[in-house]
Amino acid sequence: MSQPATTRRLAVITGASSGIGEAFARAYAKRDTDLCLVARRLDRLEALALELGQQHGIMAFAVQADLSKPEATDLIVGALAKQGRSCDILINNAGYSLPQTFLATKGREQIDFVAVLVTSVVSLTHALLPAMVERGYGRIINVASMVAFSSGAAGHTLYPAAKSFVVKMTQSLSAEVADKGVILTAVCPGQTESEFAKANGTDQLIAKSGLYKQTAEDVVAIAIAANEAGKEVVVPGWPNKLAVAFMKILPDSWTAALIRPQAKKFSLPDPKA
C-alpha cells in the first residue's frame, strides 16, 4: 500500500491509554505528529485518538495489543501496513510492576512482566528500526527508570533489572545507528504522577512517602527535549539526578544499605499462607 499524501511524521506509542504514554501522545499531537496508540484498553485508546485527531487535525488510530503476547508486534506492524504508514518515532513506554516478592508471585506473572518490559521493547524496536535506517530518520525513546541504577531490593524484584536492560540496550543500539539518522534516548524518571502506582496497589504508600514527584507532562517534555538534543540517557528532575549520581558513585554495598530499608515502604506484604 502506498504512503498517504502527508508530510507529518508518525509516532507509535505503547502504553498510550494513560499516564506517561498518554502524555507522550498529547505532546506529539501538539507537534503535528500522527499517532499509532497501543495498549490493551481499546475504549480509552479510541477516545484519545478521536480527541487528539479532532483537536489537532492529525491522524490518530488505536491498536489493541497485549504486549505480553508474542503476536503483539505483528499486530502493530500489520496495523501500520493497513494504514500505509511507517514509524518515524517509537515510544516504548508500556510497563508495570509486581510489588510482592519473587516467590509470592506466580511464575507466569514474572514471565509476562519480562515480556512487556523487555521482550516487547526488543521485538518492536527490531521490527520498526530497519525502515528508520533506510529513510535516514528515526527517533526512539525508551521509558526506563532511575531504579535502573540501583542495587535492587525486596519486592518489585525484576523491575530494576528490566529497566537496567532498557538503558543498556538504548546505549548500545545508539552506538550502532547514530550515524544512520536514528537517535535513541532512555528516560529514567523517578516517582511520577500517573496510574502506575494505582495499578500495582502502592499508590497510597507513595502518597504518604513525601517523595519528590513529577507530572507525566514534565517527564515527557524533558524526554522529548533530550531526544531532540541527541542525549542517550536523561534523568528528569535535579533530586533524581542527585540520587542517581550517588548510586553511581557509591559502592553497591553502601547503596544497598541505604536503598533497601526505604524500598520496603513501597512493596506490598506477601499474602499469608
Task: Tell me the one-letter amino acid at 3.
Answer: Q
Q: Active-site residue 159, yes or no? A: yes
Task: Tell me the one-letter amino acid at 186.
Answer: A
Q: Pick the closest to residue 22 from 59, 69, 62 (CA basis).
A: 62
- Contact between 203 and 194 under an 8 Å Cβ cutoff? The reply is no
Rounded distance between C-alpha atoms, residue 230 and residue 233, angstroms: 9
Taking 3-state DSSP, the helix, strand and coil percentages for the chain, each rounded to the nearest 5, stand at 55, 15, 30
Domain 10-266 fold is Rossmann fold (3.40.50)
Q: Which three cell numbers stand for residue 19?
A: 499516564
pLDDT value of residue 2? 38
pLDDT value of residue 250? 81
Strands 214-215 and 192-193: parallel
* Burial state string for 172-186 with b = 16 or more CB within 10 A and e = fewer than 16: ebbeebeeeebbbbb
For the whole prediction, is pTM greater than 0.85?
Answer: yes
Rounded distance between C-alpha atoms, residue 247 and residue 241, angstroms: 10
- CA dihedral for 9, 22, 214, 245, sign (positive or negative): negative
Question: Which residue is catalytic, options 28, 96, 159, 212?
Answer: 159
Rounded distance between C-alpha atoms, residue 106 and residue 91, angstroms: 29
Rounded distance between C-alpha atoms, residue 259 and residue 84, angstroms: 48
End-to-end CA distance of the chain: 57
Rounded distance between C-alpha atoms, residue 133 and residue 172, angstroms: 16
Task: Kindly give the confidence (pLDDT) of every residue in the chain, 273 residues in length, as a single tens digit, with 9 standing for 90 and above.
Answer: 334 457 899 999 999 999 999 999 999 999 999 999 999 999 999 999 999 999 999 999 999 999 999 999 999 999 999 999 999 999 999 999 999 999 999 999 999 999 999 999 999 999 999 999 999 999 999 999 999 999 888 779 999 999 999 999 999 999 999 999 999 999 999 998 865 545 544 445 445 545 678 999 999 999 999 999 999 999 999 999 999 998 899 888 777 777 776 666 666 677 765
Residue carrying C-alpha cell 543500539: 173
CA atoms within 13 A on the CB side of 119: 15
